[in-house]
Amino acid sequence: MHLSQVNEIAVDRLVLANGQPTEIQLHGFCDSSKKAYEACLYLRSVNQQGEVTTKLLCSKSRVAPVKKVTLPRLELCGSLLLAQLIQKTVPALNLKIDRILLWPDSTIVLSWLAASASKWKTFVENRVSQIQELTAGCEWRHVASASNPADLISRGTNPETLTNCRLWWVGPDWLSQYQEQWPNTPLLWHPEPPPEQREVTTVKVMIQCSPAEFITRF
């Protein structure tokens, strides 16, 4: 019943600030639900007059698998989707990107990414390894769900709501402000022991040696 409202959606083709940009940043957001997981990218540019422009650049979503998967694992799949989107988008832009920041709202995912991939069970290990490789040089930070535009798509939004949704088209309000106004939660360890830790078995080997011959002879 909402399909006809898709015709009302208009997308800006110009995503850079007016004039010659002095700084260009790429900000990626990701989120997951039991229904789907989503990744979206925003271009943040500043011109010579100090004016900041933020625009939605692209997005990608996938339906969650039919097989039951825990929500933290789905959040990790969303982060991997974001990493893959970054890998494909940056070369296609043909722009000098000064900085890339990636914003999930899952502290568990951030704790997985903060450690060596070998620390986690196979499902998490494989995806963490891919993400770390694809996003080398990028900054991972935590964002609240209320400021995460990817949350709109992962949970489902009708076209009428999306048409006038500022959060979706230009990102969270703080994105157009000075960096001091951004959420300041870097890649931190989860306050509780994160799940999916690989079990490590410690084995002790005892070798019994007989006394050296020269000790018994002399």
With a CB cutoff of 8 Å and minimum separation 6, the contacts of 55 are 12, 14, 15, 42, 43, 169, 170
To the nearest 10 degrees (0 to 180), the angle between helices 71-93 and 107-114 is 70
pLDDT given for residue 206 in this prediction: 67
Residues whose CB is less than 8 angstroms from the CB of residue 168 and which lie 6 or more positions away in sequence, other chains included: 56, 149, 152, 157, 162
Output the CA–CA distances (angstroms, integers) from residue 127 to 22, 35, 84, 121, 134, in the order listed.
Answer: 35, 20, 11, 10, 11
Q: What is the pLDDT of residue 188?
A: 53
Q: Residue 91 has what pLDDT?
A: 95
The residue with tokens 């502290």 is: 107
Say how many C-beta atoms besides its own lie within 10 A of residue 165's C-beta: 13
Contact, 154 vs 36, CB < 8 A? yes
**CATH of residue 16:** 3.30.420.10
Please list the pLDDT of the chain residue by residue as tens digits (218 residues): 677 778 888 888 889 999 889 999 999 999 999 999 999 999 999 999 999 999 999 999 999 999 999 999 999 999 999 999 999 999 999 999 999 999 999 999 999 999 999 999 999 999 999 999 999 999 999 999 999 999 998 888 888 888 889 999 999 999 999 999 999 865 555 556 788 988 766 666 666 666 666 566 66
Q: Which amino acid is at 209?
A: C
Six-digit token pair at 85? 């989107």
List helix spans (H) across 135-171: 150-154, 159-163, 166-170
What is the reported pLDDT for 157? Answer: 84
Reported pTM = 0.87
Q: What confidence score (pLDDT) does residue 130 get? A: 98
Please report the pLDDT score of residue 156 as a whole number: 83
Q: What is the pLDDT of residue 161?
A: 84
Q: How far apart are CA 138 and CA 210, in angstroms?
A: 57
What does each C-alpha distance from 77 to 32, 126, 183 come to in angstroms? 8, 11, 23
Count of structural domains, the chain: 1
At 39, the amino acid letter reads: A
Q: Who's near 180: CB < 8 A, 6+ residues apart?
A: none
- Enclosing domain of residue 25: 3-217
